[in-house]
Amino acid sequence: MASILWLNWSGGGNLPPSLGIARVLTARGHNVSFAGRPEMVPRVERAGFRAIELSRAYEQAAQYPNKWSPPAASFLSSPAVGEEIDALLRKERPDLAIVDAMFPVALAQTARSGIPAVVMLHTAFYRMFDRWQDTLAMIVGLRAEAGFGPLPADIEQLQMPLDRVLVTTLKVLDLELREFQHAHKVRHVGPVLESEPHAKAVTLPWPDDDQTPLVLVSFSTMPEQGSVAKFQNAIDALAALPIRGVVTTGDSIDPGALRPAANVAVFATADHDQLLRRASAVITHGGHGTMMRTLSRGLPMVVIPGMAADQPVNARAVQDWGAGIALPSDADAAAMRQAVREVLDSPQPRQRARELSRYFAGVDGAANAADEVEASLAIHQPAAT
């Protein structure tokens, strides 16, 4: 049995698939612990895993410029968090560390520790390459503006010193746009479509045999991306259509802040798999997990990206694949309404989404990721004598 420490950025699309992989590793006899920001802790504990709070997550947030989320930038890059991770690695001495791809200070600290480690990326690698370079440089640049010492600022220096990069997407959907000298370290394991324990089945206010088209609205669950206006625009868009709508807000906003509509039900949390079985289309922010889950069901999308780096790229990809429509991040209710009409009335988006769903058949991303973690562990085990 190996001890594994997961240095986690608990973004909306990061933690659920991480928990799915941890579940497989645990079933295989390994001991997985998660370390992350305070709001990660109850989510991990609800899932049955040990959670370690990085209590200095926001200690230096006030020193960061207000150009991007100072709390997020502090957690992802500050010296205080680096020091806490260093102390944690020395205390825990895990057999292997797993580090989220957009956690620069954890990547750098883990590389310096000498502990075997892999990178976990819950979105595309090649299709996102330039955007990830820019995002890492932005986060590290904010650290410099806060007056702190330098960190490596690119994929080459931050991620490639670790054993391998595990990418939880389908390789067929991740365009290899460039020659990359470390391509042998990039392993596409496939999507991990895990749901958190609080995502329970909900009772809808319509008969189970209702044949009216149902549209699911799922934007980011992260408070950093919460937008009452965006959710309200979606409700107003669906209110004028002959459909049923279901909105899930997660932790991003208070559902009570929204004005309801007769044909739209609003929930804080819900089992998306239950809803997708009934849905005809999805309105989403373009998070990787929601995009993969929707495509696996063969459903078309209307994508309105939020602030995360991969969401505009995912929105364009969905439109390029012919599986939906991409709208600007500030799309109003009228634009959303027209896009929903198009994906419901035109056969092409649904047909293309169904074609793409075939790539998901037989893919177990959690098991494949666990295989790669165990392969990395095997490399570092002492040879038998």
| DSSP assignment string, 281-314 | EEEE---HHHHHHHHHTT--EEE---SSTHHHHH
- pLDDT beneath 50: ranges in the chain: 383-385
Please give the helix or strand (H or E) that residue 325 lies within, else none. strand 324-326
Q: Please give the CATH number for the structural domain made up of 3-191+363-380.
A: 3.40.50.2000
User: CATH 3.40.50.2000 residue ranges in the chain?
Assistant: 3-191+363-380, 214-360
Count of H-run helices and E-run strands, the chain: 14, 13
pLDDT (0 to 100) of residue 36: 98
Please give the structure tokens belonging to residue 248.
């899930």
pLDDT (0 to 100) of residue 223: 52
C-alpha atoms less than 13 angstroms from C-alpha of 185 in its C-beta half-sphere: 17
pLDDT (0 to 100) of residue 365: 97
Please give the structure tokens belonging to residue 37.
């920001």
Give backbone dihedrals phi and psi of 335, rounded to 5 degrees, phi first: -65, -40
- Distance (Å, whole) CA 122 – CA 287: 10
Residue listed under structure tokens 């410099």 = 144
Apex 169 CA angle, 163 and 175, nearest 5:
90
pLDDT (0 to 100) of residue 160: 96
- Distance (Å, whole) CA 244 – CA 178: 44
Domain 214-360 has CATH 3.40.50.11540: no
Position 34, amino acid: F
Report how far apart, in Å, the C-alpha atoms of 317 and of each of 261, 271, 308, 324 are.
Answer: 31, 26, 15, 9
pLDDT (0 to 100) of residue 265: 93
Tell me 151's DSSP state.
-
**Cα–Cα nearest to 357, from 146, 159, 191:** 191
- Distance (Å, whole) CA 305 – CA 308: 8
